[in-house]
A and B are shown apart, each in its own frame.
Chain A
Amino acid sequence: MKKDKNIKKELSELSPLLAKMKEETASDAAPENYFHLLENSIMEQVALESTPVLQTTTGQQVSVWQRLFSPFGAAGLATLLLVAGAFLFLQKQTVTTAEGGSFDSAFAELTDAEIFNYLAENAEMTDIISVENKNDASTVLELNEVDAAAAEEFLQTQTWSETEELF
């Protein structure tokens, strides 16, 4: 047993009286032959019991394969595979995002005229309104470059039911 060297100092500071008493105390004693009798008594009692052997915890050589096929090894391996799968999946997601980023930069290089021409040829009017999120008639006229006065004149020639059908 490792004894603490500071114990005497600590006790002297805490209680000089007890420190002095400790020095005066006689060494411990037990009844004569007690320890020999105790040992025999204990050994007689344990002789009636089955022998438990201490498990080896140090110095035991266990191969990698033995470790892998143990229940803990298999659980560890399964966890590792799951983590690796999740990592690869997330990495793929990141690549797609990166591609999206390059599309944005290519889109930025187009002129407004090129975009309008493309939309005029390929998109419906409702798509454009939806994209711009502006549903008022002025925006629709603006996007189609229609002369407002001509449109007004056209609408006045239509009946109410014909005008409703247009929208």
Chain B
Amino acid sequence: MKALTRNITDLLTQSNRKAEKSTTTLTEEIHGSDAHILSLLRQPGSYDRGFRLLVQQYRERLYFHVKRMVGSHADADDVLQNTFIKVYRSIARFEEKSKLYTWLYRIATNESLTFLEKRNRKSTDSLDDEEGLAHKQISASGSVDATHTENILARALATLPAKQKAVFNLRYYDEMSYADMADALQTSQGALKASYHHAVKKVEAFVRENVG
């Protein structure tokens, strides 16, 4: 009887271990570490699965980064779709010299900067400035920019030059280290630190002028 009880206990323990192991594997599959994503992307048979996992892993982070850059959901959606298509087309040339996530941020930031440049050219033609345009978009998209604080910050960001805005976003919102920022923006850490400090002072001055 004791032997039977021990066998049942052993079986249950083994079963629990297997269940834990499968849960861990599933969690890894869902969250998908960069190494796991890259290993899937290296095999033609698992390429699409790897790419879908990459989209799942980075869609939210990149969406908010791009939205802060361009100001509206509609524009962010366009830029983000272009970003992921570009990633799909150029992933074969990714040499793993940098981290996957800094490489993705680099592409997303470059796409945003290109978009802003085009929009600025159009707004210059129509005598509309970047801040005014952003203010209209921010005010119009009330459901996305729920709070007054966010609204003020978004308007303050619109006054920054595009590259300084990217620096501020990565540090302030994404809490990225200067080393990773340097990799993502292809700029020295010293220059990034100086740029961030200037951006913070400008945003603070804007907030003080517009609050109260």
Contacts and interface: CB of A to CB of B under 8 A. Distances in A.
B63 to A, nearest CB: 6
Contacts of A18: 172, 200, 203-204, 207
B147 interface: yes
- In this complex, the member of A14, A28, A56 whose beta carbon has the largest number of chain B beta carbons within 10 angstroms is A28
Interface in A1-41: 1-4, 7, 11, 14-15, 17-18, 21-22, 24-26, 28-31, 34-35, 38-39, 41
Interface residues on A, range: 35 or more
A71 interface: no
Interface in B86-142: 88-96, 101
Contacts of A38: 55, 59, 63, 77, 80-81
B60 interface: yes
B57 to A, nearest CB: 10
A161 interface: no
Interface stretch (B6-14, B20-28, B159-167, B176-184): B176-184
Interface residues of B, number: 56
A91 interface: no
B190 interface: no
Contacts of A34: 63, 73, 77
A43 interface: yes
A1 B93 CA distance: 22
B92 A55 contact: yes
B149 A21 contact: yes
B43 interface: yes
B150 A25 contact: yes
At the interface, is chain B mostly helix, strand, loop or mixed?
helix
B169 to A, nearest CB: 12
B41 interface: yes
Contacts of A104: none
Interface string A55-75: 111100000000000000000
Nearest to B52: A43
Contacts of A56: 42
Contacts of A42: 55, 81, 84-85, 88
Contacts of B77: 34, 38
A53 B41 CA distance: 6
Contacts of A105: none
B85 A46 contact: yes
Nearest to B46: A53
Interface string B14-57: 00000000000000000000000010011110011001100110
Interface of A: 1-4, 7, 11, 14-15, 17-18, 21-22, 24-26, 28-31, 34-35, 38-39, 41-43, 45-47, 49, 51-58
10 contacts: A1-B101, A17-B204, A26-B150, A38-B77, A42-B84, A43-B52, A45-B85, A51-B48, A52-B88, A52-B90
The 5 closest A-B pairs by CB, nearest first: A52-B92, A4-B177, A54-B41, A3-B175, A15-B204
